[in-house]
């Protein structure tokens, strides 16, 4: 039988052929829509399941600041003469609490003091525990604030809470400090999101020793 041969009564109506095609296409469209909805729901569930609480919480208990005008003695550590320098700086100390609310150790990498100024934000890294102790020796009027230092390289065990004082020496004039528009502390952790905290109370201003006392210390 020729492939072109057609028996009587075997004609296929064009309208019926179109209707069958339309039905097949609609099934494909609905299947595509269902698949897209399923993928969207799966992505939403994955994202929601992946959202976790912050790895750390904390509190800035108190902040102190002392603007100072510094003038060097003109001698180095060996007693040899050197050029004198004078500059302004603000000593900032903050007593903070940090709590590791994750199941893994947290490795603190840096603590930034972010000072918001009219012309932008100044970010300064905290000094080391040794620098904090040196500042307390250099400026005896700060001795009353002595507390265990918070090292910018602290490791916090799971569930542990650490408390200590962080220290910054910021090159800034008194006027610039007093016209600041805000202050917050940013704790940067290795492989984890940072934690930003703002002080709950106003910054306590500390008065430096009279200049004549500093001069006597420098001459010793």
Domain contains 3: no
- 64 and 153 in one domain? yes
User: Could you give the dihedral angle defined by the CA atoms of residues 95, 101, 105 and 106, in that order, rounded to the nearest 10 degrees?
Assistant: -50
- 43 and 109 in one domain? no
Task: Provide the percentage of residues in the chain whose pLDDT is more than 90.
Answer: 55
Looking at every residue in the chain, the average pLDDT score rounds to: 80
Per-residue pLDDT reduced to its tens digit, 138-184: 888 898 899 999 999 999 999 999 999 999 999 999 999 999 999 99
Q: What is the pTM of this model?
A: 0.69
pLDDT of residue 108: 97
Domain contains 2: no
| Cβ 139 vs Cβ 91: under 8 Å | yes
Per-residue pLDDT reduced to its tens digit, 110-149: 999 999 999 999 999 999 999 999 999 988 889 889 999 9
| Cβ 125 vs Cβ 170: under 8 Å | no
190 Cβ contact list (under 8 Å, min separation 6): 106, 107, 108, 109
Structure tokens at 187: 């704790």
- 73 and 144 in one domain? yes
Domain contains 106: yes
Domain contains 109: yes
Cα–Cα dist 194/209, whole Å: 37
CATH number at residue 189: 2.60.40
Cα–Cα dist 51/61, whole Å: 29
Count other Cβ atoms within 10 Å, centred on residue 18: 10
Domain that holds residue 16: 12-51
- 79 and 38 in one domain? no
Domain contains 151: yes
- 107 and 36 in one domain? no
- 91 and 44 in one domain? no
Checking 33-37 for CB contacts under 8 A at 24+ apart, the result is none
- 32 and 89 in one domain? no
- 185 and 138 in one domain? yes
- 81 and 44 in one domain? no
Give, in order, the Cα–Cα distances in Å from 166 to each of 44, 92, 182. Answer: 41, 8, 18
Structure tokens at 136: 């307390």
- 74 and 20 in one domain? no
Domain contains 7: no
pLDDT of residue 71: 77
| Count helices and strands in the chain by DSSP H and E runs | 4, 9
- 114 and 38 in one domain? no
Considering its fold, how many domains does the chain have in total?
A: 2
Structure tokens at 112: 């930034």
Domain contains 1: no
- 142 and 43 in one domain? no
């Amino acid at each position: 039988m020729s492939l072109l041969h057609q028996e009587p009564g075997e004609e296929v109506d064009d309208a019926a052929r179109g209707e069958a095609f339309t039905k097949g296409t609609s099934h494909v469209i609905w299947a595509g829509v269902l698949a897209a909805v399923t993928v969207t729901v799966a992505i939403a569930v994955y994202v929601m399941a992946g959202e976790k609480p912050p790895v750390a919480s904390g509190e800035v208990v108190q902040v102190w600041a002392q603007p100072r005008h510094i003038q060097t003695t003109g001698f180095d550590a060996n007693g040899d003469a050197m050029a004198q320098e004078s500059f302004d700086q603000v000593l900032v100390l903050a007593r903070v609490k940090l709590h590791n609310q994750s199941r893994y150790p947290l490795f603190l990498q840096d603590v930034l003091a972010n000072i918001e100024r009219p012309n932008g934000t100044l970010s300064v890294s905290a000094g080391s525990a040794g620098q904090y102790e040196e500042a307390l020796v250099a400026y005896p009027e700060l001795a009353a604030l002595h507390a265990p230092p918070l090292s910018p390289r602290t490791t916090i065990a799971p569930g542990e809470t650490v408390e200590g004082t962080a220290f910054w020496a910021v090159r800034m004039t008194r006027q610039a400090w007093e016209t600041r528009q805000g202050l917050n502390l940013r704790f940067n952790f290795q492989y984890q999101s940072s934690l930003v905290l703002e002080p709950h109370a106003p910054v306590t201003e500390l008065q430096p020793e009279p200049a004549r006392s500093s001069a006597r210390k420098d001459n010793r």
